[in-house]
Structure 1
Amino acid sequence: MDEIKRSVLRSPADVRGFADFEGPLYYAPTGFIDHADDPNTLPLAGSRRGFSALEIIRRREGGGAESMILPLLALEGWVQNSGRVDEINAVLDRLMAKRPDFAGLDMASCHVMGIVNVTPDSFSDGGDYNTTEQSVARAEAMVEQGASIIDVGGESTRPGADDVSEDEEINRVVPVIRELAAKGHVVSIDTRHASVMEAAIEAGAAIINDVTGLEGDERSMEVAAASGKPVMLMHMQGEPGTMQVNPQYDCAVLDVYDYLLDRIESCERAGISRDRICIDPGIGFGKTLSHNLELLSRLAIFHGLGCPILLGTSRKSFIGKIDPKADPKQRLGGSIASAVNGWRHGVQMIRVHDVPETVQAIAVASSTAIV
């Protein structure tokens, strides 16, 4: 297991030290509990999940960051001393506000997205469903098991994957999307290529899911804006072939946050409104085990961006680093644990291979109000 070095450290400074800080501050909800049953919490993104404290984070000179945790009951006094009244009010509004429906789905609930890779070489299930008939049957089974969205991809983005022409990618995904969309299923197209986005949308795809945050193809932003479809913007450091070669961050959580904020603002300038945007911190894409675990421990910070959050941890290599004996298809336990962690942080969509197990885990977590 990799050594875990935390880049966000709890500060020994008192509350006044943060109040006097002149640089940007970041706010991560914490102290999660079932909001409906506790008047001392605030709702997390309009859901039943609530938070009872804020972790306030600031960057440190020389790299990394430090933080303090402030219970909501003490927040008002700190806000008055900080001179950041308008800033904090705006942050709380974004953290609490219910997100608009996304592709017709209610964002007050946690939805499961089923993965259908129409590929011979994806890291976990490559070759399992690489015909149209197999992929459609797999997708329909996932919907029956509780998936709200089916994510169809025709190109593996694992390190070392073979290049696929855009025409080949289109030939793989379009028949699957067309058949699923005709049956009324909500389908997302997992691609970084504008031509594939166009073909998928014409075939009935309802969502564009791009691991490059609409940066991988110079036409992607234009195509996405013109489509009127919702988009999923993921963070990835580097490109798939080399992204895991010594990735570096000043502070992974804050660097990813800043990147996603920049991409949201770029989308808005291009005509894609924030209510059409979902963000994904990109677990496993250009990140070490330490980076991934820091992101998973502070997922709720991304609610401050005012968009729904998509989390993809299913069968990923960070689980294998924690449990080296587990090959991709033996990582169900870690996938479930990280999915429930995502639900706990108020994530609205979770991308998985194992739909019924994830649906059941979230249902049990919700019913028992795990804090």
Structure 2
Amino acid sequence: MEIGVPKETKDQEFRVGLSPSSVRVLHENGHAIFVETEAGTGAGFTDTDYKLAGAQIVSTPEGAWNRELVVKVKEPLQPEYKFLQKEQLLFTYLHLAADRALTEHLIDCGVTAIAYETVEQPGNNKLPLLTPMSIIAGRLSVQFGARFLERQQGGRGVLLGGVPGVRPGKVVILGGGVVGTEAARIAVGMGAAVQILDVNVDRLSYLETIFGSRVELLYSNSAHIEAVVSQADLLIGAVLVPGRKAPILVPRNLVKQMHPGAVIVDVAVDQGGCIETLRPTSHTNPVYVEEGVVHYGVPNMPGAVPWTATQALNNSTLPYVLQLANLALKAIEVNPFLAAGVNVQNHRLVHPAVQQVFPDLVS
């Protein structure tokens, strides 16, 4: 099969769909890989690295896109819509619940669009291709939050770890899944006072086995959210409802009650966000101030650490890429867990969760 790897076009997105080591595996299995020139430069991979792995370097986006299978990291942006073709396989993060325009175009053009974030893991319905980026985003959320709490960055000037005689910063995390757990791991390591809220009591019990008394674990309801958010120095949105928009847990009137210069980092922004005042930003312009609070809403946070993130992503995606390359559409028929990743096929919106977001697009 011919496999295309275009250069990412999202603002400061330096990850790449396939690493040279993944290209080598695919090449050894008889597939032809076409990598757009400098697609891997931001992640530390040169065109020479790809050539040595067996790839062909193409000089234009069309040279990578005009293939049977296209492997990316982020969703196609509007200038890339023209490259999508009928009967083409697209394998990437899509997050369609927050992007009606892309959803409509994927339906119209006839591509088979498989989303990393809805591929399931055998036996437990976990999301194996979302997990590695969730780990990175969770860890980065505290790293970025700590930076923007600095006074020079517009924050209130709080050191999360505190010092002897001065209380540490307070980190409130909405959601105790992978993102929330990893955020707490870093925040605890920095010495912050940490609270996690989640609606799953079993998950809270599991988190207690990890963190013990170092993290305060609370059942997530409106009363508890109101009580803790207003006192937070750093608020992290870590809510995930697979395939759907994240629910709004923090309304504007609650953001108004936060300390001036407090920071919000909403990792759920690529699914619409769980903070009412949060809107998508970019690595170039990552923050804005609203209601006196610093808001960070970069939807491709792992793009800040592309060397790590590309390899972590490829460790999980390569078996599925190889299956698609070997079997084409039959891979979806024989692997129900990969089939769960199909969002659009044959001009139809097929993923149940995304159908609930856009019921008028269901034929």
**TM-score, normalization by structure 2:** 0.28
